Amino acid sequence: MKAPIYEIFSSIQGEGLLIGKRQIFVRFTGCNLDCNYCDSEKSRFVENGYLLTVDEVIKKIKDLYSDDLDSISFTGGEPTIYFDFINEVSSKIDYKIMIETNGTLPENIDKLNKIDYVSLDIKLPEHFNDSSFEDIFRNEIKSLNLLMSRSINVYCKLVVLPSTKINSFETIIKRLSKDVLNNKELQIIIQPSSPINDWKNLNSHLFRFSEIVGKYFEVSIIPQVHKFLNIE
């Protein structure tokens, strides 16, 4: 079995609830979405990856191991496209597993055997140029409810842009609060897009976004810290 891998490296998690934790990142190529905003542009395209076997990936992970390792992060692209490959790797290593996903492939997510953490992106309508948002959003909700029903530690990340409209953002949050089961247990991370210098009136925007989310969910504002540290 082989899968297209863009890179495998050890670094500090710079996003979400595991921020600051040492991880080994396995970045797949290929994505089922075409977002306007993508911070891993090169990994969107399958042809940019190298076909590696399960054993080759495991060897690289073991070579990169350090005593401060928290977990392995399968990211992309969209890693759940390769759920069978992830299952094979996960079955042969004894480390915690994190999946960083757009959440739009709930059937694939349900086939993942071993998951300790999930960072699930909630997309906004402005992230797309077409009318595909409704299907995307429905599948994200399916994935969230599925993961929570399995008692998996999942949180949502919303990337906001300088152009993000308050009303549009609030509409999505209200829909989340109605459609997600056990929504009081869900944590939402608001992530302002990088570079931060692109923002004007950053504080007023982020405080308002946080107040909206706080009506329904536990909320944090966390930028991409690895960009500030100038690490991968």
For the residues of 117-129, what is the DSSP string, one character each? Answer: EEEEEPP-GGG-S
- Count of structural domains within the chain: 1
CATH of the domain at 103: 3.20.20.70
Domain, as residue range, for 179:
2-229
pLDDT tens, residue order, the chain (232 aa): 999 999 999 999 999 999 999 999 999 999 998 877 777 778 889 999 999 999 999 999 999 999 999 999 999 999 999 999 999 999 999 999 999 999 999 999 999 999 999 999 999 888 877 668 899 999 999 999 999 999 999 999 999 888 888 998 999 999 999 999 877 789 999 998 766 666 676 666 788 999 999 999 999 999 887 666 666 6
Per the rule left: phi > 0, alpha: psi between -120 and 50, beta: everything else, 154 is beta
What is the C-alpha separation between 123 and 168, in angstroms, rounded? Answer: 11
Residues 64, 7 contacting (CB under 8 angstroms): no
φ/ψ of residue 69, rounded to 5: -65, 130
Q: What is the pLDDT of residue 195?
A: 65
Residue ranges in the chain assigned as alpha helix (H):
54-64, 83-90, 106-110, 133-149, 166-179, 202-214, 225-229
Q: Residue 134: which residues within 8 A CB-CB, separation 6 or more?
A: none
